[in-house]
Structure 1
């Protein structure tokens, strides 16, 4: 991937993350309710009983489920939720179907798509990770800074707004 394409992707992800409603003070349930309202479908976070290092997104016709591991820190779990939400916001995997054997006990009609790490292309994973990182940055520094002079150029060089 060329630097030019990476820069474009970074700017797109930063803009997308900046448009997401972020409750202050941050509350994950309110955050997810806002995303659910934007998408027109509920989102539920489930804790994974299996010790896995990453999350999983399962979308049915009625609801999006985010599975997050229980064997990690709350900060990491929050980042995983942001990452899976980013896949929803970026519309990764739209229209993908999952055969019934992939999710025993759930019919193929019920499951519209399952988005796990192996189902994404590398650019989609980078994109979701960037959006998740920018969402996390908004929690740490919710007010955008105004830059001037040389700092303005540095921000632009790293794909940020010139502000």
Structure 2
């Protein structure tokens, strides 16, 4: 895999968003909802059917649903959600879901409502790496948006140049 290609795709995707400052999770979500023409709902999941699940993006008949596993911190939760946003931004295709798979996550929801999901079996393929790099770029934008101009530097490089 060529990481320079993945980095370039992530940079191009971020630039194409033309996000207005200040950038926040909510502003990115609102931007995506507007661009996609549908609501995005983000919810935690307590008990996942597998221990390998961090975040899932489901396309329901009327909205996009992002589910995230319990995170160790708010920063970790943000990264999981930004990763799923990145898949949307990069236009990574979802797969049609079988009714059995849909019932695994939505036992009380009619299976016809769960239309598609982005499922992955390899966390080191180009799609996943590019999505993670874009999520990192978006997280950096959020941090920069809320940095106070007169705040103390956060590292020695900022102090000593």
Q: Given the two structures, how large is their TM-score scaled by the length of structure 2?
A: 0.73
- Of stretches 112-121 and 8-17 in structure 1, the one that deviates more from structure 2 is 112-121
Structure 1: segments with no counterpart, 5+ residues: 143-163
Q: Partner of 2:78 in structure 1? A: 78
Offset of 1:107 from its aligned partner? 4.3
Structure 2 CA distance for partners of 1:64 and 1:102, relative to 1, 3 Å:
same
Deviation string for 1:8-40 (max 9, x for gaps)? 321121121233354644443333122110111
In structure 2, the partner of 1:49 is 46
RCO comparison, higher one (Cα < 8 Å, 6+): 2
Task: Report what 1:34 is aligned to.
Answer: 31
Alpha carbons of 1:91 and 1:140: their partners in 2 closer, same or farther (altered >3 Å)? Answer: same
CA distance change for structure 1 residues 56 and 44 in 2, over 3 Å: closer, same or farther?
same
Cα 1:103/1:121, change in 2 over 3 Å? farther
Mapped pair 1:113 → 2:116: yes
Render the CA deviation track for 1:69-117: whole Å, top value 9, x for unaligned: 23420001001110001111112124x2000000213444322212234
Contact 2:23/2:141 (<8 A) preserved: no
Q: How many residues align?
A: 138
| 2:103 is equivalent to residue 100 of structure 1 | no
**CA–CA distance in structure 1, aligned partners of residues 90 and 123 of structure 2:** 12
| Cα shift at 1:133 | 0.7
| Alignment partners' CA distance in 1, 2:97 and 2:124 | 17
